Amino acid sequence: MDTASFIFYLLATLLVIASLLVVFLRNVVHCAMALVTALLLIAVMFVTLHAPMLCVLQVMVYAGAIMVLFLFVIMFLNPGALEQQRGLWWGFGTLLAMMLAGVLVPLVATSDLPADPVAATELFGSPEMLAKSLFSDYVLPFEIASVLLLVAIIGAVVLAKREN
Amino acid sequence: MDVNLVPLLPAVQVLVTALVVTLRDLFIKDGESRGVLAFYSLVGLGLAAAEVFFLLGGRQEGAFNDSYMLDRFALFFALIFILAAALTILSAIDYVRQTGMREGEFYALILFATVGMIVMAAANDLMVFFLGLETMSIAVYVLTGMWRSNGRSSEAAMKYFLMGAFATGFLLYGIALIYGATGSTNLAQISAYLLDQPSEWPVYLIGGGFLLLIGFAFKVGAVPFHFWVPDVYEGAPTPVTGFMSVAVKAAAFAAWARILLYKLSPLDNDWVFPLWIIAIATMTLGNLLAITQHSIKRMLAYSSIAHAGYLLIPIVVGVEWGGLPLLFYLLAYSFMTLGAFAVLTSMTEGDESKDGYSDFAGLGFKRPFLALAMALFMLSLAGFPPLAGFTGKFYVFRSAVLSGHLNLAIIGVLNSLLSVIFYLRVIVAMYMEEGGAAGKSFRQAPFVYIAVAIALLGTIYLGILPADALDWSRRAFGSLE
């Protein structure tokens, strides 16, 4: 086994363990922490796949922004009252997970992916490539997205500002 | 790549107006009149309309690798949106002051929503369409909740936001599946792919089409995705309700027509039957539930569901016959609905809306002009000749008959008859009953009168002389080729 595969299997094992912890830990804050670990491990996996840009985005967006949102909501809802309960929802969740597995496993198994890894071009996944694409082919969506964010900010201020 | 900024002109004009209004608002002290902001908004919308007419005369072309096509179709809808925004602002000037909402942000958000709608109608790329849709939706969520001292407004905003986010999920997933199947988000390339390999489409492409369909059905409020409509329309500030039921619906239908009806039309065998059911259910349920309402605002909400059903008929009918009636009916519907909501907006007393049937009692003698206008809007919505609603319905049902969907036409006509019950009830209340609460301490609101007059002119003009508008609708839909 070469080094790359060794690192992959190591990361994959840790990732599975972290994901299982998200599901099986009882304290919600601990679950959130396990989720951060899982997301960071995915970020490391992107590095081993030579996609540094995706790694940085993964850390910033998922391990950063989205997790902060998660934790905020948990704090608001009083974590003590949120001990996981394994009732009806547990069964429902298991059912959904099995359905997803039932779709994904055959899909991956039957897809005709090349057997050997294909080497990526040097610039693939780099910030330069992303920026070039963002500011040429996708410059219009990029600009509209900025309008969208402005509207969202103004809207948030309008709805949240204290009345005089 | 080609950089051609001309097609962006109307959208940018409205956007700049929104920014000017937002910034100018900051320099007006509390307690001073903010009327100038409404004036700026209307001037900006007027300029945008002038630009639309200017562009109609020139060569219509795409921009940004054809991801944005300001063709006649987009220009037609841009005019509807600009009209709806202008009439909404006109009728809202007094209302916003009475209810104590923040004026600057109110006008600015209407304008921002208009920008999103123009982008939606012109989007020739699923990504651009989606961003336009979200710009519009977020602005309208906030507008719904702007009357903060009114609990129902906040409730409506929350419901609308959650339901809208749900619908957005469907749309986004549909877009992702279509991208996965065709390898592009550009509608021209998707359409080329569909024509290139007929009927060898992966299942998830059809699934993606269906998810888009569900998302659009949510946005236009079609049965069985309509349950948010009555609560949201009733809770929202009245001018916003008018704006939602006209402009938001028109924008959703514009995108529906361009994306599903036109560009993805090779797939339509799979969804004609479900759409047929949706159209019939929407018309019938909307009209039946409208009969049972006690509030005129809520009745108009159900009536707007029923009209979404009529508008679905041309979509079931398909590209060949459906284009002209869809566009013309939307135009006619815009005038009569905006007018009805403008009258309803004027029925505000202090910070309380008076929108029950009993509040309209005797209005025919207290406010003869408003009552007459309201009566004509109601007759037009019910489809009486010679008003816009009649001409619109005539062409919608005609397209159904000509394309062999006789059953749709019959059910549509029966529904129109059913709708007469609740539209006439308004007229009966206004002219044959006495002692309504509203109208006594009702203040003179000159701007509402202007809005009502414009809507009334449009309703009568489209009913008596529809030839120009029909021709215009035909050419607008033809420009999708």
Across the interface, which of A141, A147, A152 has its CB nearest the CB of B127?
Answer: A141
- Phi and psi at residue B352, to the nearest 5°: -120, 135
> What is the mean predicted confidence (pLDDT) over B235-258?
94
CA-CA distance, B198 to B26, in Å (whole number)? 57
Q: Which residues pair with B186 in a beta bridge?
A: B125
| pLDDT tier at B441, thresholds 50, 70, 90 | very low
Domain count, chain A: 2
Interface residue B125 vs chain A (CB under 8 A):
yes
Same structural domain for residues A79 and A140?
no
A152 and B138 within 8 Å at the Cβ level: the answer is yes
B90, B341 Cβ separation under 8 angstroms: no
Same structural domain for residues A72 and A17?
yes
Question: What type of residue is A126?
Answer: S
Interface residue B4 vs chain A (CB under 8 A):
no
- CA angle, residues B63, B331, B310, in degrees to nearest 5: 110
pLDDT greater at residue B177 or residue B356:
B177
Same structural domain for residues A162 and A113?
no
| pLDDT tier at B2, thresholds 50, 70, 90 | low
Same structural domain for residues A141 and A93?
no
CA distance B3 to chain A (A): 10
Same structural domain for residues A63 and A46?
yes
B409, B310 Cβ separation under 8 angstroms: no
Interface residue B134 vs chain A (CB under 8 A):
yes
Q: What was the pLDDT predicted at B440?
A: 45
Backbone Cα Rg of chain B: 21
Across the interface, which of B67, B138, B148 has its CB nearest the CB of A148?
Answer: B138
B209, B270 Cβ separation under 8 angstroms: yes
Helix, strand, coil distribution of chain A in percent, nearest 5: 75, 0, 25
Same structural domain for residues A150 and A100?
no
Same structural domain for residues A83 and A41?
yes
A82: number of Cβ within 10 Å: 14
CA-CA distance, B238 to B351, in Å (whole number)? 12
CATH number of A28's domain: 1.20.120.1200
Q: Which of A43-57, B232-246, B429-443 has the highest mean pLDDT?
A: B232-246
| CA-wise closest residue to A14 among A2, A26, A22, A3 | A22
Instruction: Pull the structure tokens for residue A76.
Output: 């608001």
B447, B364 Cβ separation under 8 angstroms: no
Distance set, CA A88 to CA A83, A94, A95, B93 (Å): 15, 10, 11, 52
| DSSP secondary structure code for residue B262 in this structure | I
Interface test with B, best of A150, A154, A157, A163 (most B CBs within 10 A): A154
| CA-wise closest residue to B136 among B159, B168, B166 | B168
Same structural domain for residues A142 and A96?
no
Interface residue A152 vs chain B (CB under 8 A):
yes
Same structural domain for residues A134 and A110?
no
Interface residue B181 vs chain A (CB under 8 A):
no
Same structural domain for residues A87 and A13?
yes
Interface residue A16 vs chain B (CB under 8 A):
no
Q: What was the pLDDT predicted at A106?
A: 86
Q: Is the pLDDT of residue B182 over 80?
A: yes
Measured over the CA atoms of residue B185, residue B187, residue B192 and residue B198, the dihedral's sign is positive
- CA angle, residues B198, B199, B204, in degrees to nearest 5: 120
| CA-wise closest residue to A137 among B5, B65, B8 | B65
Interface residue A136 vs chain B (CB under 8 A):
yes
CA distance A10 to chain B (A): 31
| DSSP secondary structure code for residue A111 in this structure | S
DSSP string, A79-145: GGGG----SHHHHHHHHHHHHHHHHHHHHHHHS---SSPPPPPTTTT-HHHHHHHHHTTTHHHHHHH
Instruction: Pull the structure tokens for residue B338.
Output: 């905006």
Interface test with B, best of A147, A150, A161, A162 (most B CBs within 10 A): A147
B15 and A141 within 8 Å at the Cβ level: the answer is no
Domain residue limits at A133: 126-164
Q: For the ranges A5-19, A60-74, B52-66, B117-131, which has the lowest average pLDDT?
A: B52-66
B246, B337 Cβ separation under 8 angstroms: yes
Q: Note the ipTM here.
A: 0.91
CA-CA distance, B256 to B216, in Å (whole number)? 7
Across the interface, which of B102, B112, B157 has its CB nearest the CB of A151?
Answer: B112
Same structural domain for residues A26 and A97?
yes
Instruction: Pull the structure tokens for residue B217.
Output: 């059905």
Q: What was the pLDDT predicted at B305?
A: 95
B231, B157 Cβ separation under 8 angstroms: no
Same structural domain for residues A75 and A144?
no
CA-CA distance, B139 to B169, in Å (whole number)? 18
B444: number of Cβ within 10 Å: 9
Residues of B in contact with A103 (CB under 8 A): none
Percentage with pLDDT > 70 across chain B: 96
B388, B339 Cβ separation under 8 angstroms: no
